[in-house]
Amino acid sequence: MTDAPLLDVQGLRVAYTTRAGEVPVLTGLDLSLRAGEALGLVGESGCGKSTVALSIMRYLGRAGRITAGRILFEGRDLVSLDEGALRALRGRRIAMVYQDPMASLNPVMTVGRQLMEVPMVHERVDAAAARARALAMLREVRLADPEAVMDRYPHQLSGGQQQRIVIAMALIAEPALLIMDEPTTGLDVTVEAAVLDLVRDLRRRHDSAILFISHNLGTVARVCDRVGVMYRGELVEEGSVRQIFTDPRHPYTRGLLDCLPTSGRDKRHAPLIPIAGQVEPASARTPGCGFASRCPHVETGRCTTRAIALATVEDDAGHRVACVRVDELAQASRRRATLAVRDAQAPTAPVIAVRDLHKSYERRRARLAARKDVVRALVDVELTAARRRTLAVVGESGCGKSTLAKILTGIEVATGGSVTLDGIEVAALPVDARDRTLKRKLQMVFQNPDSTLNPSHTVGYAIGRALRRLRERAPADVPSGVARLLEVVKLGPEMAARRPRQLSGGEKQRVAIARALAGDPDVIVADEPVSALDVSVQAAVINLLNEIQAERGTTLLFISHDLAVVRYLADHVAVMYLGTVAEFGAVERVFAPPYHPYTEALLSAVPVLDPDAAASRIVLEAPLPRGDEVPRGCPFATRCPRRVGTVCDDVPPPVQQLDGGHRIARHIPAKELAARQVPL
Amino acid sequence: MARFVAKHLLFLLLTLLVVSFLVFTLNEFSPGAVARKVLGAYATQEQVDLLTTQMGLDRPLLVRYVDYVRAVLSGDLGQSARFKAPVRDVIARHLANTAFLAAIAFACIVPLSMILGVMAGMREGSRLDRVILILSTVVASIPEFALGVFLASVFVVWLGWLPGTATLVAGGGWSVAAQLVLPVAVIVLFDAGYVVSMIRASMVEVMQRPYIRTAVLKGLSFRRVILKHALRNAMLTPITVIMLQINYLVAGVVVVETVFAYPGFGRMMLEATLFKDIALVEAGALVAVFLAVVTNILGDLAYVLLDPRIRA
């Protein structure tokens, strides 16, 4: 069995039964995995990557069905196994780690019991032995105080801790195959980095093979040896991490990589190139290449008449591509976009000026608890947004970036301090008290367009309503106004009659942007507008925001946790930590030494595509302090890798003013920091 | 936890105060109304006036209410006109009978609906699920009196297996146990139908949660997945509803008690109302409200005990 692969998926076809009939999701997938190897599966939502995982686990639900193919695992075909044999494999030889660890853990069972269950069921060991195993495993996933963690319920742990529990639960039986389905999606970037480092580390100690599924190419590069790129239920390219990321051959892989705001790219130098068109539904499958309708190199006939199999690239062992034109499309043919539009006007007066802004909430510790905590969501926040520019606000969840947006829009009012919008004080002005002109000046775009668009209204009605409300349009003018706004966001006029459920995620977000533009606002506050979108769609929306800004002179306040996007899009950046601004300045200054230690940690946590990336990263092991545990001194003191001493705990750090309006709040002098830090 | 109990007790007191005032006011609002109700339509106005003065009913409403509250607090609920006995004793006797019936019914309803609800919900859309769903919907939608009359005509009139009344007096050759079968059966069928569908719905939802997938893919047997992972989660939502059934069983089974001539609390209230036995109606209303609030508190408490996320 030395040469036989651990997992060998051959011609796997899976279909889901829907009301419209049977829809094929996987159409003849081949992949194999040797013992101890880590294979990444990447692709956009709907490409079938999770279906691969669930097929291997034989957990497709009642709607899913394996229609053809074999899944050989340790020489046995999983497709034909009965329930009893599957049970013996699941959790013991094949284990799985899921997205959203909170939902994956039983909320009414202590994590210790959930861990102990695995050896108790599979190996029939007694409770004491299972407990010892669980404790050892918790230590291995680097959870502090494992004894105490054993007795906790999932909700008492942070997201990162929960995912470590799920990983411990998967590895406790020493499985031969570990399937990880988007294990870091939804985690903060610093937590993600720590979890990925843990997985890398565990790989070395356990010889489990890993099937790592992710939409984030950077995370795959950090963990895997090989990568498979999926598109519409097929593997279109497969190879080593280096082959895929430095010499992609399939037009789709190239398209994906060109959409990524990888480090070093920004809107001034190398604009993102979105993939044209959108994924066609699985039910509308035609013979030939699935990517043909969006491919810039398509050749009718050769590409569209028959199915295209994976073939090994010449002189490149292990690199397989499903493209008939692979030899003709040399590497040099990758597209390079021309310079993006750039408004060269000199900086103007700030549109938004925030000074000494405070916001605190009172919160019960639990539903039945007597004591109330005062949670300080914003402390002494000071920043400005220049007209016609993009100010990005970044930070981990809970840093106060969304609270800031809520105060700007008037959904919340500040507890203290001042916020001016075009010179008008709005900090204490709730949205109901704002007049039409003020409301018009500032509009918002939210993260999840699904929950912000009313499903029963047509697109035309939603945008038209904003036009009538904010612009006092006569009813006859509205349809033309709607069509014009749809054109601005690059949607056809026929979209006006559609309802949100008939739109894709990217289209919905465009509609949300069009609605925000209805009032011709001076400022658009966009709270994580691209976080829920696939990378190719994300690139298109980012480009759209850029163009709108250049054409209309809109100021954009861009709230994001994604530093790559921020570096690409922003002119100015405010890095927030626990309600305070740790660092503020022009993007090229903030993203270069001297950094605030927190900025440094955030930047080094971003998973990069470069397979050679140095492993010397800063990993924040300590969790984010809770609202009532914020240190007296520097808020970052509990996690800071560059602590200088007790001064950090006791004294709030002074704000140091550097060149060009760049300011950093910390104890270490800028020169000293610059000397110690390397550009990231 | 102390705070939880204190808060709810305060709420209980407040509710009792408000309800007692409302009931008192509605019954005794117009001067002379009480005496008229007591004496009936054929009494002369003079007799009514005399009784009104005798009972002190011509005093302002608020004064009388304060007096009433004082009396209730000292344990004096007044005299029942219908049963010619102290209200306290009348209520205690009937409440004990009802509690007996309710306890038996509750002891059947809870395990029965848990078993059926979980079995239906664990495999949504299976044949077993559909059978249980249809049966529970049918029995829950037949009114109690129709169900009572139907069962009585089958088992009493046609088959002659069971007695048609449950007077709790062992006579006519029927034991008390035999007398209880039909009332309990009607209550259980009617009420369990509703509770089963609640538990089933909750179970269906729980079975779709990611942690059930985690449990299955850990290689646990289906039985273990259901018992160890799904059951407790599936009981979270219905537990409050289940506790509220105690309230229904004690104060809401008027129809069943009437159909089977059962000497319980519900029938006592009905009779007291028909006979304009004001003291008994007022005291009975207080007892019913007390039970309603207490069962609500029990429901909340059970929820807290089941769900660690709510415990501080």
* Closest-CA residue of chain A to B7: A368
The answer to whether the beta carbons of residues B60 and B24 sit under 8 Å apart is no
pTM of the model: 0.83
Q: Pick the range with the lowest mean pLDDT from A49-53, A339-343, A372-376, A575-579.
A: A339-343
Out of B209, B211, B312, closest to residue A369 by CB = B312
| Cα of A448 to nearest chain B Cα, Å | 22
Annotate B41-66 with DSSP letters as a single string: TTS-HHHHHHHHHHTTTTS-HHHHHH
Determine, yes or no, domain membership for B166. Answer: yes
Q: CB neighbours of A436 closer than 8 A, spacing ≥ 6?
A: A469, A470, A472
- CATH number of the CATH domain containing B268: 1.10.3720.10
- End-to-end Cα, chain B, rounded Å: 9
pLDDT digits (tens, 9 = 90+) for A412-428: 889 889 999 888 898 88
Question: How many Å apart are CA A579 and CA A400, to the nearest integer?
Answer: 5
At residue A73, does pLDDT exceed 50? yes
| A368/B216 touch (CB, cutoff 8 Å), yes or no | no
* Closest-CA residue of chain A to B306: A108
At residue A264, does pLDDT exceed 90? no
Determine, yes or no, domain membership for B35. Answer: no
Determine, yes or no, domain membership for B188. Answer: yes
| Cα of B236 to nearest chain A Cα, Å | 10
| A107/B213 touch (CB, cutoff 8 Å), yes or no | no
Q: Pick the range with the lowest mean pLDDT from A157-171, A172-186, A329-343, A483-497.
A: A329-343
Which SS3 state, helix, strand or coil, does residue B305 take? helix
Residue A292, phi then psi, degrees to nearest 5: -50, -40
List of chain A residues whose C-beta atoms are within 8 Å of the C-beta of residue B310: 366-368
Closest CA to B185 of B205, B219, B156, B206: B156
* Closest-CA residue of chain A to B8: A368
In which element (H, E) is residue A11 found?
A: strand A7-18
At residue B71, does pLDDT exceed 90? no
Determine, yes or no, domain membership for B191. Answer: yes
Determine, yes or no, domain membership for B292. Answer: no
pLDDT digits (tens, 9 = 90+) for A610-666: 766 655 567 776 767 765 666 777 888 878 878 777 788 778 888 888 776 788 887
- What value of ipTM does the predicted structure carry? 0.81
Out of A62, A90, A105, closest to residue B217 by CB = A90
* Closest-CA residue of chain A to B206: A106
* Closest-CA residue of chain A to B234: A108
* Closest-CA residue of chain B to A156: B309
At residue A1, does pLDDT exceed 50? no
The band of A33, judged by pLDDT with boundaries at 50, 70 and 90, is very high
Instruction: For residue A657, list its beta bridge partners.
Output: A663
The answer to whether the beta carbons of residues A600 and A231 sit under 8 Å apart is no
Instruction: Return mean pLDDT, chain A.
Output: 84
Question: How many Å apart are CA A40 and CA A240, to the nearest integer?
Answer: 10
The answer to whether the beta carbons of residues A226 and A239 sit under 8 Å apart is yes
- As a whole number, mean pLDDT of residues A353-381 equals 75
More confident residue, A32 or A348: A32
Which of B4, B8, B211, B216 should be substituted to probe chain A, the one whose Cβ sees the most A Cβ atoms within 10 Å? B211
Burial tier of A361 (Cβ tally within 10 Å: 0-12, 13-18, 19+): middle
Q: B-side interface with A, Cβ within 8 Å?
A: 1, 3-4, 125, 209-211, 213-221, 224, 228-229, 232-233, 236, 304, 306-312
At residue A409, does pLDDT exceed 60? yes
pLDDT digits (tens, 9 = 90+) for A538-594: 888 888 888 888 888 899 999 988 888 888 889 999 999 888 888 998 888 888 878
The band of A53, judged by pLDDT with boundaries at 50, 70 and 90, is very high
Question: How many Å apart are CA B297 and CA B293, to the nearest integer?
Answer: 6
List of chain A residues whose C-beta atoms are within 8 Å of the C-beta of residue B301: none
Q: A-side interface with B, Cβ within 8 Å?
A: 57, 59, 62, 86-92, 95-96, 98, 100, 103-109, 117-118, 121-122, 153, 155, 166, 169, 365-370
The count of residues in chain A is: 680
Q: Count up the domains in chain B and report the number.
A: 1
pLDDT value of position B205: 94
Using the 8-state DSSP alphabet, how is residue A468 labeled?
A: H
Determine, yes or no, domain membership for B78. Answer: no
Q: Pick the range with the lowest mean pLDDT from A69-78, A265-274, A631-640, B88-97.
A: A265-274
Using the 8-state DSSP alphabet, how is residue A420 labeled?
A: E
Cα angle A114, A119, A123; round to 5 = 150
The answer to whether the beta carbons of residues A644 and A667 sit under 8 Å apart is yes
| A91/B219 touch (CB, cutoff 8 Å), yes or no | yes
List of chain A residues whose C-beta atoms are within 8 Å of the C-beta of residue B306: 108
The answer to whether the beta carbons of residues B138 and B132 sit under 8 Å apart is no
Using the 8-state DSSP alphabet, how is residue A72 labeled?
A: E
- As a whole number, mean pLDDT of residues A383-403 equals 88
pLDDT value of position B31: 57
CB pairs under 8 A between A and B: 91
pLDDT digits (tens, 9 = 90+) for A426-481: 888 888 888 888 888 899 888 887 788 888 899 999 999 888 888 777 777 888 88
Question: How many Å apart are CA B195 and CA B198, to the nearest integer?
Answer: 5
| Half-sphere exposure (Cβ direction) of B291: Cα atoms closer than 13 Å | 20
Q: Pick the range with the lowest mean pLDDT from A135-149, A262-276, A641-655.
A: A262-276
Closest CA to A501 of A536, A538, A460, A449: A449
pLDDT digits (tens, 9 = 90+) for B176-231: 888 888 889 999 998 999 999 999 999 999 999 999 999 999 999 999 999 999 99
Determine, yes or no, domain membership for B59. Answer: no
Give the domain range for residue B181: 88-276
Encoded tokens for A421? 């919008």
| A103/B236 touch (CB, cutoff 8 Å), yes or no | no
Highest mean pLDDT among A170-179, A270-279, A303-312: A170-179
The band of B171, judged by pLDDT with boundaries at 50, 70 and 90, is low
| B3/A370 touch (CB, cutoff 8 Å), yes or no | yes
Determine, yes or no, domain membership for B307. Answer: no
- End-to-end Cα, chain A, rounded Å: 44
Annotate A606-618 with DSSP letters as a single string: S--S-TT--S---
Closest CA to A389 of A522, A511, A520, A527: A522
